[in-house]
Each structure stands twice: as C-alpha cells, then as structure tokens.
Amino acid sequence: MITVRQIQRMWSGKSYERLLELLTAPRPEVSSRLLGQLLSHGAGSLPAAAMAVIRLDELAQSYVPFYSELVRTILNAQRPDGGWGDVMVTALCLRALMCGQGHGIAIDGGLALLAELQKPEGIWPAMPVRRMPADAFASAFMLTLLGDSEPFRQVVRLDGAMEWFESNELALDEETRKVWARMKRRSARAPRQISNTGPTASAASVSCKTFWDFSAALST
C-alpha cells in the first residue's frame, strides 16, 4: 500500500514514472499498454500528478500541503483547447480535478473539448483531433474514469458511446474488452439519463472513489 509520505517523496524527487506505476499497479484493468500510453505524455509527470490527487482524495488527505502543488501542476498544463494533450490524459486530469471541490472553469473547458471530439459513431479519437480515427481503447478508458460523472454525462452522447461498445464488443481486443467490462459494470449500477443540450455547469464536489476506486486493491 503506497503511503502519503511515499507519494510526496517520489513526487518531490521527480520519480514520476515509478509513482505512476505504483499508483496504477493494483488495478486489474491496467495493462502495459495503458501505462505506456500514459507515460508517453511528458515523461509521466502530468498523469502521475493526476493519479496522486486521486489517491490522496481517497485517503482523505487532500489537506496535505503538496496536494495543492499537484493540482497546480494539472491546471498549469491545461492547453488552450481545454484539454491536456491526448484524450486519455485529458480524462485522467479531469477525473483528478473533479475530486473534492473541483475547479469549475478548467473542468468545463476539458468537458467541452471531449464533447466536441466525440465522433458520430459515438466514441472518441485518441488524439484531440476529431477527424482522426476512433480509438476504442482510449474511449473505454475515458468512460471508465468519467462515465458516472454527471457533468460529463450532460455534455456527451453517453448512450451513443455505450451502444457502440455493446454493438462492437466481440470485435474488441482483449485489453480494450477488459477496460470496457469495468465500464459496463458501472453503467449497470447507474441510471442513464443523459442530457447534452448545452455546456455543463461547474462540477459539484465528488469523491474520486465513486469513479476509479483504488482503495480496496491497494489495501490488500
């Protein structure tokens, strides 16, 4: 079980890759493919910051001084288009910012970008360019992080995404199927009342446990 002190020590020592590996290792749906794609972004510093925020929120440790440093790292890296580079890292940063009290303007910008990038068939490209091919793996990961978030559900066509995966489930590769299976279990527990008629309001306070709960795995 990774501790707050270990998180702080690795972050301060710029051991971003190791920190990200330790924070994601207990998750059964995390694969070398997923970790590799996250690490390809800025040597892992940004996804490591986002994952650290999520973990600290789970531990009810958002009051520790370096929590604010992690959040500032995420906010300062936001791009003019509202995202943080590729769709997977954008989803991870949004999930982190939705912890605790959230940061409305930054969250709204990221969600608006994801709504804009959603393709007619229902899923998303891996890169923030709508004309790029749809990427099932990136889309499944994003839905795992954000699919239960009401602000996300208000701005995207979640039913369209779910229907695409249900229709193409047998054609998914093994790693994508594993991530999708987790999202499908979540969707079975959550009502699908989707509204995408306008920009989302600022996100309400939420717990990261609701969306990607590391607690059980990390405490065993």
User: What are the pLDDT tens digits along the chain (220 aa)?
Assistant: 788 999 999 999 999 999 998 998 777 667 788 888 887 765 578 999 999 999 999 889 988 999 999 999 999 999 999 999 899 999 999 999 998 656 589 999 999 999 999 999 999 999 988 889 999 999 999 999 998 888 999 999 999 999 999 999 999 998 898 888 887 776 655 554 444 544 444 444 455 554 444 333 333 3
> Taking Cα atoms as reference points, which of 188, 196, 100, 110 lies closest to residue 148?
188
Indicate the residue type of 208.
Answer: C
pLDDT of res. 214: 37
Q: What is the pTM of this model?
A: 0.84
Q: How many domains does the chain fold into?
A: 1
Contact 49, 74 (CB under 8 A): yes
DSSP code string of 178-218? HHHHHHHHHHHHS------SSPPPPPPPB-GGGTS--HHHH
List phi, psi (to 5°) of 77. Answer: -90, -5
Structure token pair of residue 97: 């910012």
Give the N- to C-terminal CA distance of the chain in Å, as an integer.
Answer: 8
**pLDDT at position 26:** 73
Domain containing 126 equals 4-218
Backbone angles phi, psi at 115, to 5 degrees: -65, -40
What is the structure's pLDDT at 182? 80
